[in-house]
Structure 1
């Protein structure tokens, strides 16, 4: 077979729009620019966008790990002010919300720039692209460590940075993030979160599709992980949402 002579490279960053080029496989020089998104770059030139600040926060009960945390801050951010803070979570097994690729401005950027809030994301245990042990920390135990991390890391950030308004910190998520939101409100004994928005959450893994659930929870049988399913159900703890 003939040796390939060219390859396609896609590059982006949080502050650089995606660029797709065709390159020579030997010299790596650009043969042609397939897409440089210059029109998008031009559209964004006069737009106010948030500042992004990435950090890591130690996991309190396992010194092997630190969780990635990302904050979107208003452009005119003042560390001496207190800002309402909204934590966004997905948190599903093997997922990743914090990376260094381009994301087109959307609702988070609107909230930060127009409503002057801080938007925070935490990739806690159970998420991917950290290590195998990190990703499988809550294997057969959904609704445990990934919830603990959202609560405890948010509380740690509140205490560490005075510009986070402890009285006005909320959490929201969709799908698995909706589940994490509900469980965070249920398990939040210190009122770290003032409120939450849960969109389309699975509330009991017994009723979710087996192709997804059994990969992470095993079988809901007496010889399997029935106790894990019972523990993970939001329906068994719904009274805790009343406060």
Structure 2
């Protein structure tokens, strides 16, 4: 992955490139033909490695159709022991408009590293319905946000556990925030045979009350059955796995009422769950606390 900055006269550019497992390199290039004029800097990560840092593994496996490659990351604890059996936690943020699995070098991934250090193997994958692959690949989500790429995620995780037997396929948890909050709840509601526990922060659980401009792009107008079918409020009665819901009182991006409607539906369906309300908090606080709360919730069940 490359990031570039042009000189004021547009004759040169500084190119900084890296991969998740390769430290950043900076070079000066000619803007005319892209050739390297001179090297500038290569990041020294020797002290990081000496402290026990291990790079995430880029893992590729076939998706639901058995032929399309899905790309993701596997993060292991620094004291990883291949003779042990590790529960798996998926961090999910999935959907149209972008790709979400990190592509650049990150010495500490706030959504994955800390959980891995507590004794989990943490994974993240971009499934069908994300962008920058093909129109067909992304259009899986059209009038089908309920899908959330989860069939591809499950196929990818199954392939990973087949290659690495120390990943426990019988103990897979999932967590996410915002869209990931919606999707992690959907995972345990719709795929409880695979996902054994979920943590969901500030989820946009019902696309009928989320940001209209975004939802209509993918679900269309007028509001039809696709909205209802993907609603965690409508599907709350299906809950059969441990679920922790977290919501901030002052979230200005995802309406807190979205979570409360799920809570109401769960109570009406006589379902047991956990709810954490953070007074005065916004989505930023919830994401900061995500690893802590997810660890508490998922450690118990996984």
Q: Distance in 1 between matches of 2:82 and 2:49?
A: 26
Matches within 5 A, 1:140-179: 140-144=143-147, 146-179=149-182
Query: What is the SS of the residue equivalent to 2:105?
Result: coil
Asked if 2 retains the 8 angstrom alpha-carbon contact of 1:230 and 1:236, the reply is yes
Contact 2:63 2:69 in 1 (8 A): yes
- State the partner residue of 1:22: 28
Q: Which residue of 1 aligns with 2:113?
A: 109
Aligned position for 1:194: 196
| Matched-pair contact (CA < 8 Å) for 2:228–2:234 | yes
In the superposition, relative to structure 1, how do residues 195 and 63 fare at CA in structure 2: closer, same or farther (>3 Å)? closer
Change (3 A) 1:63 1:155: closer
Change beyond 3 A, Cα 1:165–1:176:
same
The match for 2:238 among 224, 240, 243 is 240
Change (3 A) 1:202 1:37: farther
- Cα distance between partner residues in 2 of 1:48 and 1:16: 16
Compute the displacement of 1:96 (Å).
1.6
CA contact under 8 A between 1:148 and 1:184: conserved in structure 2?
Answer: no
Q: Deviations over 1:18-56 (max 9, x none)?
A: 3444333357334584xx475x74663533223422222
What is the deviation of 1:219?
A: 1.1
User: Separation in 2 of the partners of 1:19 and 1:160?
Assistant: 32
Q: Provide the alpha-carbon RMSD of the alignment.
A: 2.6
Give the aligned partner of residue 51 of structure 2: 47
Partner SS state of residue 141, structure 2 = coil
Aligned partners of 1:156 and 1:19: how far apart in 2?
Answer: 32
Which consecutive aligned stretches of 4+ in structure 1 deviate over 6 angstroms post-superposition?
A: none
Are the aligned partners of 2:63 and 2:151 in contact in 1 as well (CA < 8 Å)? Answer: no
TM-score between both structures, scaled by the size of structure 1: 0.82
Change (3 A) 1:151 1:14: closer
Aligned pair count reads 231
Aligned counterparts of 1:160 and 1:37: Cα–Cα separation in 2? 33
Q: Within 5 A, what are the aligned runs for 1:1-243?
A: 4-25=10-31, 28-30=35-37, 33=40, 36=41, 38=43, 41=45, 44-60=48-64, 62-107=65-110, 108-112=112-116, 114-144=117-147, 146-190=149-193, 192-221=194-223, 226-243=224-241
Deviations 1:38-94 (A, max 9, x none): 5x746635332234222222223x244222132112344343321121111101213
| Deviation (angstroms), 1:123 | 1.0
Displacement of 1:139: 1.1
Structure 2: 5+ residue runs without aligned partners? Answer: 1-8, 242-302
| TM-score with structure 2 setting the length | 0.67
Distance 1:150 1:63, change over 3 A: closer
CA contact (8 A) 2:95 2:141 kept: no
